[in-house]
Amino acid sequence: MEELLIITTIVASSVAHAAFAPNLYHPKVSIVNKIVDVNASCDLKHFNITILMEQPFKGLLFAKDFSHECHATETNNSFSLHLPTSGCGIRLSSKTNDEHESVYYMATLVVQQDRYLQQATDLEYTVKCLLQENLMSVKSKPMMDAVKKLMGQKKTTRTGRMKNLAEKSKESTTSFENENDLIEALSATKAWMEIIPEEDNDHPGILQVGEPALLIIKSTLPVGIGWKIIDCVAHDGLGDSSQKLLDQHGCPLDELLLPEPLMGPPKSIALMRHQELISKFAAFKFPDRDRLHLSCGLQLCRGSCETVDCKSSLANESEMRLARELSQDGDGEILDRFEVFNSVEVIAPSIELEEFRNDNNRNNVDGGRPTY
């Protein structure tokens, strides 16, 4: 801990010499308290971190950009953080090895050596936590019941109704032969969101305002289950500031912020189907926060979800409800909904520099008084 040296200046020359400490020009080297051990555990909603410091710590430990809201509780030289994965700057990323995709959470922590002051000796650490596959699975009873019903129907002779369903879902021969197939399929279901730069770089977790970025929703679901994204919101990680991006139909409210997402072609994996939805947008941020959080509702449907022409003014809720009621085979029926979310650091160096220049210009005109 860097010592704070307070010096009292005395006018008398004979005393002034003695008032200065003999080592004023050779200050004591600061002792930086370091992290010696980190343990982390996580599930879909929580990221728990326990940190052991080298010596008793009198500073602050918090999630970067959230010093007041997401800080640690201390016990001598041991600290614990309990962070919600939907806020506090928690970021989700994936990595593919040998066709296997691993998903993990990341948190950037700040070790502030002094409780009240930021110093050059403050440290930043990134903590990662691998999300176990069984924790990633989509747990939805309505979806399970729908797949069970589909499995039972495919065991019987196909009727015209089932042929129609097969045509709509574009699945011809795949079926769940027994209960084990069903259990295996449901355990492999998963869906998550990623926010990455459009162009690969060495810092995929950092964007600049205006930089082209991709919002990607990835899903692996059983055949016969469709999905769509609705009610997307951008927020600051705390809920103090927010901006709605997609409405209840999945249509953009402002295409300059987030254009309509496009669904990619499905990729069949045994009894499952992997699919990705992508929207390209220009990175933006809230003025008082360098972390942008995005959250969307993922709607599960029997067969395929209702499609809406976002550019047509004729599409409305009553028409969609009537279409669902007239559907004879239940295709398009909404089964369930859950949230997918992620965050990314967004910086604005050019904007901040321009604000600094403007402030200086204002201060140099009429002694800092505004001009009209």
Q: What is the 3-state secondary structure (H, E, C) of 13-73?
A: HHHHHHHCCCCCCCCCCCCCCCEEEEEEEECCCEEEEEEEECCCCCCEEEECCCCCCCECE
Amino acid letter, residue 46:
H
Distance, in Å, from the CA atom of 48 to the CA atom of 107, rounded to the nearest integer, reads: 10
Both 269 and 336 in a single domain?
yes
The total number of structural domains that make up the chain: 2
Pairing of strands 334-347, 206-208: parallel
- 352, 354, 356, 370 from 365: Cα distances, Å: 20, 17, 15, 8
> What pLDDT sits at residue 151?
73
Residues of the chain with pLDDT under 70: 1-30, 75, 99, 152-179, 181, 313-330, 351-372
Both 188 and 305 in a single domain?
yes
Both 250 and 101 in a single domain?
no
Domain that holds residue 245: 141-148+178-310+317-350
Both 89 and 192 in a single domain?
no
For residue range 157-204, list pLDDT tens digits in order.
455 555 555 555 444 344 555 667 677 778 889 999 999 999 988 888
Reduced to 3 states, what is the DSSP secondary structure of residue 116?
A: coil
What global pTM score does this model have? Answer: 0.77
> What pLDDT sits at residue 13?
36
CATH number of domain containing 54:
2.60.40
Distance, in Å, from the CA atom of 371 to the CA atom of 366, rounded to the nearest integer, reads: 8
- Is residue 96 situated within a structural domain? yes
* CA atoms within 13 A of residue 171's CA, in its CB half-sphere: 23
Both 226 and 112 in a single domain?
no
Both 185 and 293 in a single domain?
yes
- Is residue 231 situated within a structural domain? yes
Both 183 and 113 in a single domain?
no
> What pLDDT sits at residue 214?
97
Query: For the purposes of burial, counting CB atoms within 10 Å of the CB of 181, is it exposed (0-12), middle (13-18) or buried (19 or more)?
Result: middle
- Is residue 370 situated within a structural domain? no
CATH number of domain containing 295:
2.60.40.10
- Is residue 205 situated within a structural domain? yes
> What pLDDT sits at residue 177?
59
Both 65 and 204 in a single domain?
no
- Is residue 368 situated within a structural domain? no
Both 114 and 201 in a single domain?
no
Distance, in Å, from the CA atom of 297 to the CA atom of 300, rounded to the nearest integer, reads: 10
Both 195 and 344 in a single domain?
yes
| Domain finish residue from 70, 101, 130 | 130
| Domain finish residue from 130, 157, 189 | 130
Distance, in Å, from the CA atom of 6 to the CA atom of 45, rounded to the nearest integer, reads: 48
> What pLDDT sits at residue 2?
41
Both 121 and 183 in a single domain?
no
Are 59 and 114 within 8 A, CB to CB? yes
Q: What percent of the chain is helix, strand and coil (3-state, nearest 5)?
A: 20, 35, 45
- Is residue 166 situated within a structural domain? no
- Is residue 189 situated within a structural domain? yes
- Is residue 8 situated within a structural domain? no
Both 126 and 267 in a single domain?
no
